[in-house]
C-alpha cells in the first residue's frame, strides 16, 4: 500500500470515530463559562469532571456552576451525591460512561468539564483490572500516614514504585496510600498495572483543551473568588456540613479545615480566608503540574482581554481544524 493510500485509510478510520471533548484547567481559570458557550455552539451536553462538584450541599465550597448557566445547557453528574457518601474513581467512571451513552442517543456531543485530572485519566486510559483492594491494609496505611505524615509515605512509595511516586504529589495522601495498597495486595507496582488499562482512548477521537493564564492573574482570580465565597455564605455552609458525618473525599475539600479552625476559635476569619486563598493557589499549581505531564493536551492561554466568548471561539476553531484534517 502506498503512503498516500495508507494515510487516506487512516484518515477515514479517525473520521469514523465519535468524539469526546474535555475542557480542563486549574481552579478559577474560567472553565465553566467557556464550556457552556462551547456547548451551545457544538450541540453538546456537559458532564462533570470535578471530584467536589458531584456533592450536594457544597455549592459554595465546590464553586458549583450557577443555576442560570446549568439551565442553558444540560449538565450531568453535578450535585447528585450526599457529602456523607463514599465515592471513588471506579464509580465515577461507570456513571460517566452511562452519561456518554445517554448523550449520544440524543444526538448530542459529550463535553467533560472540570479540574480533576485523575477523573479524566480513568476515563481516557481506563482502570486496571487487578484485584488489588484490601480494607485492612488500607486502614493500617492510613493509620501510619496519620502518625508519620504524607511525606514519609511518599518516600516509602518511592522505594517500591518510583514511577508512581514521580506522578503523585508528596501531600496527596489518598493516592499515595492507594498506590501502596496496590503494591502490598498484588505484589506489583501500580504504575506497571496501569499500563494494562483500557479506556476511551482508541475507541473515540479524544480532544483535550486546558485553559490557563499568567500565574499572577490566575492567583488574583483565586483570591477574588475566595472573597466572593465568603460573601456567598461559605462559613454557614461549612458549619452546616460539619454537623454531619462527611466522607473522606468531601471532608478534604479546601475550605472545610480552614473554616473549622475559625469556628473552633483557633484563629480569626481573616486568617481562615488567607489560608483558603493560599491552599487554593497551591492546589492550582498541582493541577497545572498534572496537566503539563499529559502531552495529548492542547493549551488555550487566556490573554488579559480574552473574554469567555473569545476563549470558546479558540476552542471551536481548533475543533474545526481537527475536523478538516
- In the block, residue with C-alpha cell 457544538: 42
d(CA 116, CA 15): 28
Half-sphere exposure of 214 (CA within 13 A, CB side): 7
Query: 211 pairs with which residues across the strands?
Result: 300
Q: What pLDDT, on a 0 to 100 scale, did the predictor assign at position 73? A: 97
- In the block, residue with C-alpha cell 506522578: 167
Q: What pLDDT, on a 0 to 100 scale, did the predictor assign at position 129? A: 66
- In the block, residue with C-alpha cell 488555550: 300
Q: pLDDT tens digits for the chain (325 residues)? A: 433 433 333 334 344 589 999 999 999 999 999 999 999 999 999 999 999 999 999 999 999 999 999 999 999 999 999 999 999 999 999 999 999 999 999 999 999 999 999 999 999 999 876 667 888 999 999 999 999 999 999 999 999 999 999 989 898 898 899 899 999 998 889 888 877 777 898 889 999 999 999 999 999 999 999 999 999 999 999 999 999 999 989 999 999 999 999 999 999 999 999 999 999 999 999 999 999 999 999 999 999 999 999 999 999 999 988 766 6
Q: Find, among 237, 243, 279, the residue nearest to 258 by Cα.
A: 279
Q: What pLDDT, on a 0 to 100 scale, did the predictor assign at position 13? A: 36
Q: What pLDDT, on a 0 to 100 scale, did the predictor assign at position 325? A: 62
Q: With contact defined as beta carbons under 8 Å apart, do 152 and 109 qualify?
A: no
Bridge pairing between strands 297-302 and 205-213: parallel
d(CA 132, CA 78): 29
- In the block, residue with C-alpha cell 502506498: 2
Grid cell, residue 146, equals 496519620
Domains, the chain, ordered by start: 11-127+197-324 (3.40.50.300), 135-194 (1.10.20.140)
70-77 long-range contacts, CB within 8 A, separation 24+? 72/36, 72/40, 73/36, 73/39, 73/40, 73/44, 73/45, 73/46, 74/45, 74/46, 74/108, 75/45, 75/46, 75/47, 75/48, 76/45, 76/46, 76/47, 76/48, 76/102, 76/103, 77/47, 77/48
Q: With contact defined as beta carbons under 8 Å apart, do 49 and 75 qualify?
A: no
Q: What does the H/E/C string look like for the chain?
A: CCHHHHHHHHHHHHHHCCEEEEEECCCCCCHHHHHHHHHHHHCEEEEECCCCCCECCCHHHHCCCCHHHHHHCCEECCCCECCCCCCCHHHHHHHHHHHHHHHHHCCCEEEEEECCHHHHHHHHHCCCCCCCCCHHHHHHHHHHHHHHCHHHHHHHHHHHCHHHHHHCCCCCHHHHHHHHHHHHHHCCCHHHHHCCCCCCECCEEEEEEEEEECHHHHHHHHHHHHHHHHHCCHHHHHHHHCCCCCCHHHHCCCCHHHHHHHHCCCCCHHHHHHHHHHHHHHHHHHHHHHHHCCCCEEEEEECCCCCHHHHHHHHHHHHHHHHHC
Amino acid at each position: 500500500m502506498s503512503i498516500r493510500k495508507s494515510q487516506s485509510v487512516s484518515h477515514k478510520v479517525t473520521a469514523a470515530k465519535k468524539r469526546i471533548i474535555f475542557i480542563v484547567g486549574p481552579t478559577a481559570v474560567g472553565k465553566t463559562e467557556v464550556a457552556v458557550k462551547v456547548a451551545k455552539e457544538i450541540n453538546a451536553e456537559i458532564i462533570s469532571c470535578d471530584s467536589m462538584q458531584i456533592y450536594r450541599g457544597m455549592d459554595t465550597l465546590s464553586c458549583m456552576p450557577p443555576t442560570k448557566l446549568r439551565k442553558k445547557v444540560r449538565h450531568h453528574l453535578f450535585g447528585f451525591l450526599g457529602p456523607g457518601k463514599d465515592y471513588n474513581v471506579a464509580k465515577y467512571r461507570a456513571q460517566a460512561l452511562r452519561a456518554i451513552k445517554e448523550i449520544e442517543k440524543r444526538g448530542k456531543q459529550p463535553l467533560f468539564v472540570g479540574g480533576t485530572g485523575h477523573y479524566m485519566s480513568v476515563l481516557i486510559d481506563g482502570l486496571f483490572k487487578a484485584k488489588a483492594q484490601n480494607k485492612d491494609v488500607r486502614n493500617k496505611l492510613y493509620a501510619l500516614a496519620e502518625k508519620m505524615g504524607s511525606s514519609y509515605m511518599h518516600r516509602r512509595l518511592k522505594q517500591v514504585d518510583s514511577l508512581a511516586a514521580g506522578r503523585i504529589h508528596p501531600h496527596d495522601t489518598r493516592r499515595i496510600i492507594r498506590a501502596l495498597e496496590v503494591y502490598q495486595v498484588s505484589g506489583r507496582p501500580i504504575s506497571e498495572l496501569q499500563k494494562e488499562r483500557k479506556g476511551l482512548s482508541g475507541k473515540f477521537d479524544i480532544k483535550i483543551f486546558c485553559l490557563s493564564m499568567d500565574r499572577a492573574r490566575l492567583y488574583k482570580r483565586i483570591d477574588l473568588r475566595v472573597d466572593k465565597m465568603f460573601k456567598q455564605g461559605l462559613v454557614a455552609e461549612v458549619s452546616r456540613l460539619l454537623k454531619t458525618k462527611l466522607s473522606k473525599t468531601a471532608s478534604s475539600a479546601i475550605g472545610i479545615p480552614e473554616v473549622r479552625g475559625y469556628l473552633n476559635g483557633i484563629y480569626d476569619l481573616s486568617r481562615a480566608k488567607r489560608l483558603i486563598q493560599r491552599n487554593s493557589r497551591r492546589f492550582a499549581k498541582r493541577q497545572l503540574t498534572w496537566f503539563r505531564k499529559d502531552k495529548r493536551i492542547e493549551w488555550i492561554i487566556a490573554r488579559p482581554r480574552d473574554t469567555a466568548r473569545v476563549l470558546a471561539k479558540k476552542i471551536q476553531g481548533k475543533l474545526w481544524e481537527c475536523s478538516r484534517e
